[in-house]
Each structure stands twice: as C-alpha cells, then as structure tokens.
C-alpha cells in the first residue's frame, strides 16, 4: 500500500504531480483552510503533511497523524505556524520554501512603498467613486523617494532584495538591523548595521523583513512609532504579528507617521470591525507577497521534494 500525504489546499500541479508518482495524495479541495477537526482527521496515517501558513501545526496534529509521520513541508518561507520543537521531539523533519519567493515578495514591498508614498489607495477610490473632478495643484501630494533613507528591519534574503531594488531604482540610502553583522551587505550598500532606535529616527521608509519570533512580536509599537519621522512610511511584508496594530492605528490616525503599506496583518483577514481598513493612509493587500505563477510553481516543487526526502529518511533539501 502506498503511503499517504495530506495537502491542505490545492497548489500548483508541478508539486502534486511529483507527489502522486509515489504517494496517495489527499488534497483538501476547499478554498478555505481545513478547520481543526478536519486537520486532525485528514492528517491521520499520513507520512507527510504539506501545509500553509494559515494552518496551525502543533503536537496534537502530529500525534493525530500518528507514528508514520516523517515530514512537514510548509508551503512558505516563514514557519511560525509550525511548532518546530514539537516536531523535532517526535523526529519529524520540517521544511520550507526559501529564495524562490524572495523577488516576488520584494516586488510587493516596493509596490507598497510607492502606493503609500503617492496615495494610490485614495486616488483609486476617488476615481472609482467619480469624486475626482480636476487636476489639483495641491491635492494628493506625496513624497519623492530619490535619495531618501531606507531602513530595512531584518536584513535577510527579502530585506536585501528590497534594498537592491530601491537603491538601484531610486538611489535610496540604506540602514538596517539584523541579529548578526553582515560585512557583505555593508559593502554592497555602503551601509552599516544600526540600532533599531537609530533606524527608526533616520529612515524615511521603514520596511519590515524579520521572521515572526519571540523578539520580533510587536516590535513596532507606540514607542517605535513615536521615534519615526512624520513623513515616514512603514511597509510590512513580513508577518502581521510584528506590528502592534492598535499602535499603528494611533500613529496613522494622528498622522504621527505619513502612511503604511501592509501585505500582512494579524489576524488575516482583518476582522470586520478593524479600523485600520478605513484609514486613507493605510494600504492593505491580502498577503500576496509570493503570489506569482513562477514563485508558486517553484514552491510546490520544493515542498514536494522535502516530503519525498523525509519519507525515506534523507535530509530535507530545504530544511527550516
């Protein structure tokens, strides 16, 4: 009998095809994620789980899957939805999909910088609502980016790609934070690692690129917003939990910062009553960082390769 893989959503065919060559592949068909009950039931007996960032995978799910479970392949580079410690206690390998989505996500960050700096959201809404009456000398004024300072919080793969695009395209100057020093980055961007406080007070654009971990949860809160320039733009393509959203709302509403562009929120989607959605100076996208045909196809292949390796006890090609 062939081993079973549970895939928690329909993903591009390339990876599914690879998996079907060796396994019985059970693919969740709904566009909404499986609820807890369905996860516990459908994971049962699987040798591998192919999961999304919206699936909370903890020890209970792993135990429900049972002793055959060898690997969990997250269809994302971030893996804060998986209890990695619980997996390693049970000898289950966990993999992710780095690199192939770096440029797609960095493009969305750049798009959000432009959207926030130049009022895309209110401009589009005005045109749609037939409220735009004439060319206005003083209307919808935003900020130039050329020569301004870009603060990258978390100078990893995506952070560096955003810096490359905004330095190459707009001649921005770069400052950054990260946990470790990065001499090659210092050289490439003629930049230096600075403290978070220095970054916040110097930057015209602050772009968040850390993973979500205990140190980065709510790392942007009232104190941090108060340190930013009044013309500053905040962009988040990392994870919603990095920002204290109530504090962001206060900063945007009081115009203590100029605008924000978010690809990620906490929770996703935002609840109906969230006041952030109503702000003119807050552009929100529905977590589309990696949503290109190219990136998603590569992600499906990498996730499949991770599960194939895990099933035979080989090291994962893309471990977390």
Site for ligand NAP in 97-116 (CB under 6 A): 98, 101-102, 105
Smallest distance from ligand NAP to CB 177, Å: 5
Rounded to whole angstroms, what are the CA distances from 239 to 262, 284, 297? 9, 13, 22
Q: Please tell me whether residue 78 binds ligand NAP under the rule CB under 6 A.
A: yes
User: Closer to ligand NAP at the Cβ: 47 or 72?
Assistant: 72
Q: Please tell me whether residue 29 binds ligand NAP under the rule CB under 6 A.
A: no
Q: Please tell me whether residue 210 binds ligand NAP under the rule CB under 6 A.
A: yes
Q: What is the distance between the alpha carbons of residues 119 and 140, in angstroms, rounded to a whole number?
A: 6
Taking CB atoms, the residue at the shortest distance from ligand NAP is 156
Residues belonging to the active site:
239, 268, 287
Site for ligand NAP in 147-206 (CB under 6 A): 154-159, 177-180
Q: What is the distance between the alpha carbons of residues 204 and 258, in angstroms, rounded to a whole number?
A: 10
Smallest distance from ligand NAP to CB 97, Å: 9
Residue pair 203/150 in contact (Cβ under 8 Å)? The answer is yes
By rule CB under 6 A, what count of residues binds ligand NAP? 31
Handedness of CA 222, 228, 232, 236 (dihedral sign): negative
Q: Please tell me whether residue 241 binds ligand NAP under the rule CB under 6 A.
A: no
Q: Please tell me whether residue 306 binds ligand NAP under the rule CB under 6 A.
A: no
Select the residue interacting with ligand NAP from 4, 9, 239, 296 (CB under 6 A): 239
Select the residue interacting with ligand NAP from 9, 148, 165, 209 (CB under 6 A): 209
User: Closer to ligand NAP at the Cβ: 90 or 157?
Assistant: 157
User: Closer to ligand NAP at the Cβ: 25 or 260?
Assistant: 260
One DSSP character per residue, the chain reads ---EEEESS---HHHHHHHHTTSEEEE--SSSPP-HHHHHHHTTTEEEEEE-TTS-B-HHHHHHH-TT--EEEESSS--TTB-HHHHHHTT-EEE---STTHHHHHHHHHHHHHHHHTTHHHHHHHHHTT---S--SSSS-----TT-EEEEES-SHHHHHHHHHHHHHH--EEEEE-SS--HHHHHHHT--B--HHHHHHH-SEEEE-----TTTTT-BSHHHHHHS-TT-EEEE-S-GGGB-HHHHHHHHHTTSS-EEEES--SSSSPPTT-GGGG-TTEEE--S-TT-SHHHHHHHHHHHHHHHHHHHTTPPPSSB-
User: Closer to ligand NAP at the Cβ: 122 or 178?
Assistant: 178
Smallest distance from ligand NAP to CB 83, Å: 16
Interface characters, 245-274, with ligand NAP (x: CB under 6 A):
------------------xx----------
Smallest distance from ligand NAP to CB 4, Å: 28
Site for ligand NAP in 282-301 (CB under 6 A): 287, 289-290
Q: Please tell me whether residue 213 binds ligand NAP under the rule CB under 6 A.
A: yes
Q: Please tell me whether residue 48 binds ligand NAP under the rule CB under 6 A.
A: no
Smallest distance from ligand NAP to CB 277, Å: 18
Residue pair 96/78 in contact (Cβ under 8 Å)? The answer is yes
Residues forming the site for ligand NAP (CB under 6 A): 77-78, 98, 101-102, 105, 154-159, 177-180, 209-213, 215-216, 237-239, 263-264, 287, 289-290
């Amino acid at each position: 009998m062939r081993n079973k893989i549970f895939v928690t959503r329909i993903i591009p065919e390339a990876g599914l095809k690879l998996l079907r060559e060796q396994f019985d592949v059970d693919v969740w068909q709904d566009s909404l994620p499986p609820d807890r009950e369905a996860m516990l039931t459908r994971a049962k007996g699987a040798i591998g789980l192919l999961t999304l960032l919206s699936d909370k995978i903890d020890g209970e799910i792993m135990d429900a899957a049972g002793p055959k479970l060898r690997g969990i392949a997250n269809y994302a580079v971030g893996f804060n939805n998986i209890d990695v410690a619980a997996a390693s206690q049970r000898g289950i390998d966990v993999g992710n999909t780095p690199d192939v989505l770096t440029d797609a996500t960095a493009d969305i960050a750049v798009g959000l910088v432009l959207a926030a700096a130049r009022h895309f959201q209110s401009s589009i809404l005005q045109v749609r609502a037939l409220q735009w009456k004439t060319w206005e000398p003083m209307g919808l004024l935003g900020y130039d980016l050329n020569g301004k300072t870009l603060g990258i919080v978390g100078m990893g793969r995506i952070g560096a790609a955003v810096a490359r695009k905004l330095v190459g395209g707009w001649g921005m100057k770069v400052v950054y934070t990260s946990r470790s020093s990065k001499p090659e980055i210092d050289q490439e961007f003629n930049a230096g690692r600075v403290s978070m406080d220095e970054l916040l007070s110097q930057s015209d654009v602050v772009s968040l690129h850390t993973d979500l971990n205990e140190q980065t949860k709510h790392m942007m809160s009232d104190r941090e917003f108060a340190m930013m320039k009044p013309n500053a733009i905040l962009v988040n393509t990392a994870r919603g939990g990095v920002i204290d959203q109530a504090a962001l709302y206060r900063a945007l509403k009081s115009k203590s910062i100029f605008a924000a562009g978010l690809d990620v929120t906490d929770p996703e989607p935002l609840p109906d009553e969230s006041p952030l959605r109503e702000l003119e100076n807050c552009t929100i996208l529905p977590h589309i960082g990696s949503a290109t045909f190219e990136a998603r196809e590569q992600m499906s292949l990498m996730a499949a390769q991770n599960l194939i390796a895990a099933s035979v006890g080989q090291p994962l090609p893309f471990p977390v």
